[in-house]
Structure 1
């Protein structure tokens, strides 16, 4: 398992479009991918789970990837978030 913390920089947080883009990136990998926000954990491959977390600009998430392509998955997710998730 690998994990990394990342801060959301999108001014509007993870609304539908960036949440969908995050899920698209996550679904390209076979690993189990989750993120923690406070006391909650969400499935990064589920748009409803990501939207339900109500992530806002400046929130810090900790992504956890576990599986055969965990390192590649984590790197891709962090890069996508740092690039604004298409916003």
Structure 2
């Protein structure tokens, strides 16, 4: 298992469009579990589920820790971190 903490930079947080991109990216890694926790550590969410991502209510400026476990976990983590750092398409 690998993990990394990133800060949500886009101004609207993980609303529907960025959440969709986040999930689509996670789903590319079929044999790898991709989850994340809000920085407070109280909420865990499945990055492959749009409802789970939206339910996490992640806002701009929030930090999340992304966890990847399984086949190609390092590549999955690198790609997830990159899309967040790139602003999730916004």
Q: State the shift of 1:64 in Å.
A: 0.5
How many pairs are equivalent?
A: 87
Alignment match, 1:62: 65
2 CA distance for matches of 1:10 and 1:58? Answer: 8
The answer as to 2:10 corresponding to 1:10 is yes
Aligned to 1:28: 28
How far is 1:17 from its partner?
Answer: 0.0
Among 41, 44, 47, which residue is 1:41 paired with? 44
Matched residue, 2:87: 84
Root-mean-square deviation (Å): 0.6
Deviation at 1:28, TM superposition (A): 0.3
Q: What TM-score do you get using the length of structure 2 for normalisation?
A: 0.95
Q: Structure 1 stretches of 5 or more lacking a match?
A: none
Which structure 2 segments of 5+ residues have no match? none
